[in-house]
Chains A and B, each alone.
Chain A
Amino acid sequence: MGNKYSGLVTNAVGRLVPTEVNGEKQVPFQGVGKFKPNASKHGPKINSCADFPEDGNKQVKSLKEALVKAGLKDGMTISTHHHFRNGDLVANQIFDVAKELGVKNLRWVPSASFPCHEHLIQYLEDGTIHHIEGSMNGPLGRFASHGNMKGMGVLRSHGGRYQAIQDGEVKIDITVIGAACADEFGNANGLHGPSASGLLGFALADSQYADKVIVVTDNMIPFPCVPWQIQGNYVDYTVQIEQVGVPEKIVSGTTQITKSPDRLLLAEMTAQFCLEAGIIRDGFSFQSGAGGTSLAVGDYFAKIMREKNIKARFARGGSNKYLVSMLEEGLVDYILDGQTFDLDGVKSMAENPNHTWTSPFTSYNYHGKGNFAGLVDVVILGATEVDVNFNANVVTHSDGLLLHGIGGWQNCLFSKTVILPVPLFRDRFPVILDEVTTICGPGELIDVIVTERGIAINPKRKDLIEKLKDTNLPIKSIQELKDEAEKICGKPAKPEFDDELIAVIKWVDGTIIDAVKKVKS
């Protein structure tokens, strides 16, 4: 697959990024809205019904048989999905088979990886897997950070992953779609069965554009499996295995709002800000994730909406029981769900027509005729670091370790107002810095930073500054916040990194916005 990387240039946000990665040409980030591709979508090979069983039964005996039939061989690109989150049992088995067959140099394209995939480190070491293109969480990120991966990591947002597959930037040879429920023809959904996770949206692009599509389930039902979130007409083989996921690690039985007083304060300040900025008004829309602070923000929104008799048109999920209760109470008309975080969410999606599933195509894909991320009035997101120019980082920590994926974070930055509630410091790590370790989102798209010691509004948002001019909320400049953090924590030393790069961060349009350096050992 060629050199790890070559041809460094400085991109539009001043970061040194390679123009070739794993032997493939790359475009450096040119600015928001600047890069427009001039090509056609990737066209997978046409198939014929003549090559498929007349009775529609595409089931084979084992995952191994499916992979062999799909032609698994050296250098292929294999994709998987993270619907089962940290309870996924499918991805590890694929590479166990590859190892058994002596296949080498695979490129793994997961929609996200989790600590449960630590098992795959041995295959990265022995060359079964060449490199990972996808979010690397925890152990795999740590492994990559120390320069141990043979190829370069490529991190994309959920929308960016759809874009890359659609554009043919990543050509998937075999995709394996783990599903909570499927029929022998290949129709599948995430709604029913012991491994129910709600939806299979992250696998949509793979089902449409991969050369070979395998559906794996532990809950094979007679045709038809409806709703068919994945359409069997895209599917080559189906497999039934004993267990695809560990239920308690897929969705939580008990999503709980944080009890941390500091996080609750952040959430309360965020909600109050939205109220005073006029964002919380009849017919508005919002997105708030499943992290401790985000859940609490949703809860404060609900309180305000109840008091002021305000209804939201839609909420963008990550759904959870709190969001579901808002839907059932009539505080929101629709939940547009990207992934489901607890059993209440799964049940609601199965039963309530106003709780609908989405995919990165509808919500996030940047190379399309619009997406609905831009229609959301306010989105509440996290970050590991923010800098004085409002640039933010979600993948690395201040010590340089790559420990998180991008998720839908970059895509959500196109919402009308982007708010990051973050503590001013974590332990002694200042969160607001002169310069973030890795730029994942350019400051021009980030509007408000809420910390427990003050709220900074991006100077570009004159409208928000004007609306909040008489507020009792502690509005400060981002520089003041940074100085305050440094006053408390002490001025941090500049971390030293190796010059070697270990991964690149893609922007939503497929250009490279930043690169991650190897940590000094």
Chain B
Amino acid sequence: MSNKIANAGNIGKKVRSDCYVTLELKDSGGIVINQKSKVQVLYGDSNNELCKDVLSFFGIENAILTLEDRGALPLVIAARIEAAIKTLIDTDKEYLLDFIDENNYTSEKEQFRFSRLYLPGNSPSMMLNAGIHEPNGIILDLEDSVAYNKKTEAQHLVRNALRGINFYGAERMVRINQFPKGLEDLKYLIPHNVHMLLVPKCEGADQIKQLEKKIVELKSQHKVTHSIFLMPIIESALGVEKAFEIATASENVVALAIGLEDYTADLGTRRTNEATESFYARSRMVNACKAAGIQAIDSVFSDVGDMEALKANVKVSKGLGFEGMGCIHPRQIKVIHESFAPEAAAIDKAMKIVNAFIIATEKGLGVVSLGTKMIDPPVVKRAEKTINLAISLGLISENWREDFLNEQAG
């Protein structure tokens, strides 16, 4: 057997919550584990047990496994070892740790998607605390932020993260690779309660249809019943022209996002803060989204130090009709939420709708109406979300209805 050594993971003084494994398959000598861990005293023994368990799961009886650990969680260590094994052995088996209860929730088409936080799919340290910053969505990125030779290990890490890292209620998103590589990503995602897939460099409905076909296949194979939503990313001149076609390619397409770095490159121009070069593309995409009844999501704002510029950027974005924006730093989340926050008039309308709904429910009416106008259930749902958002942003109190009724009575 040639090429019996494989590596996975990250190494270096600055690396945290990660590890680097070197696996050498042998013909004899049993299992030898060499561990050097920053947390040796507390977790050295349990790490050893885990290493042995993963190797035994894959039927490996003779090997030298070197684990250089910088405080990686078990789900990270297991992903690294599995990735190393799979570069040496052809197997369909998967070493899965427990799926934590906290991650058993679903998302909905109408969900607010003001902020979505991009995280590199091969950097576990950023994943652990992402949820506590309360973005609407967390994107584990398998595409641009992962080096080509790290794609396999990132797939395993992202799979394990979907199962074992608490997302604290954020919508669980993954940006897959461009086709055809992106299709190979799916088996690591679909069975593990991914809510939404971001589809990079989307340029036509056929891509979405191809993707959907594969998703349907995997869903039935793994008995997944919840919807898996799609957010195609428009990143080229052709993509912009095909925006409506893409937006209506599947009922699971709930939003389009625009990626301005690649788009401006495609135009042969440079991205500026004034963004005049992308005005047409952004407006065109917003229009396509609204025509299709889905959300339009703006690109990321890359100057993470300048919150004032971000704030100004969001105002423009909101003015163009966008309903959300990407983040590359957790501190951008709050600014984005506050700037996309519903205005007083929108909150007022939402309170009226929810109030009407409560009254209708109390009276046992099947139909909610406001004045002479009938209110559809999705509208009520959205109004409730506006209210909840306004509460969470501290714009109205949790007991808003008391004040609302008093005001109406007075």
Contacts and interface: CB of A to CB of B under 8 A. Distances in A.
Nearest to B134: A265
Nearest to A429: B39
Range of interface residues on chain A?
20 to 34
A5 B47 CA distance: 37
B128 A490 contact: no
B70 interface: yes
A242 interface: no
B329 interface: yes
A492 B73 CA distance: 12
A398 B329 CA distance: 31
B302 interface: no
Interface string B29-59: 0000000001111111110000000000000
B300 interface: no
B42 A493 contact: yes
A492 B43 contact: yes
Given A428-B43, A490-B43, A264 B331 contact: yes
B42 A398 contact: yes
B16 interface: yes
B405 interface: no
Interface residues of B, number: 26
Contacts of B72: 428
B161 to A, nearest CB: 13
A400 interface: yes
A453 B72 CA distance: 19
Nearest to A430: B42
Contacts of B305: 259
A154 to B, nearest CB: 25
A261 B330 contact: yes
B43 A427 contact: no
Interface in A239-286: 259, 261-262, 264-265
A60 interface: no
The majority secondary structure among interface residues of chain A is loop
A493 B305 CA distance: 41
B74 A427 contact: no
Contact of B40 (A261, A265, A399, A452): A399
Given A261-B331, A265-B132, A427 B41 contact: no
Given A261-B329, A452-B129, A452-B132, A490 B38 contact: no
B219 interface: no
Nearest to B305: A259
A429 B71 contact: yes
A452 B166 CA distance: 13
Nearest to B15: A427
Most A-side CB within 10 Å, residue of B71, B128, B132: B132
Contacts of B128: 488
Contacts of A426: 71
A489 interface: yes
B150 interface: no
A68 B250 CA distance: 89
B42 A428 contact: yes
4 residue pairs, one from A and one from B, having the closest CB atoms: A427-B71, A261-B330, A492-B42, A428-B71
Interface of A: 259, 261-262, 264-265, 398-400, 426-429, 452-453, 472, 488-490, 492-493, 495-496
Given A452-B132, A488-B166, 18 more contacts: A261-B129, A261-B329, A265-B132, A265-B330, A398-B41, A399-B41, A428-B17, A428-B42, A429-B39, A453-B132, A490-B46, A490-B74, A492-B42, A492-B43, A493-B43, A493-B45, A495-B41, A496-B41
27 contacts: A259-B305, A261-B330, A262-B129, A265-B132, A398-B42, A399-B39, A427-B16, A427-B17, A427-B39, A427-B70, A428-B17, A428-B38, A428-B39, A428-B42, A428-B72, A429-B42, A452-B129, A452-B132, A472-B394, A489-B73, A490-B43, A490-B46, A490-B74, A493-B41, A493-B42, A493-B44, A495-B42
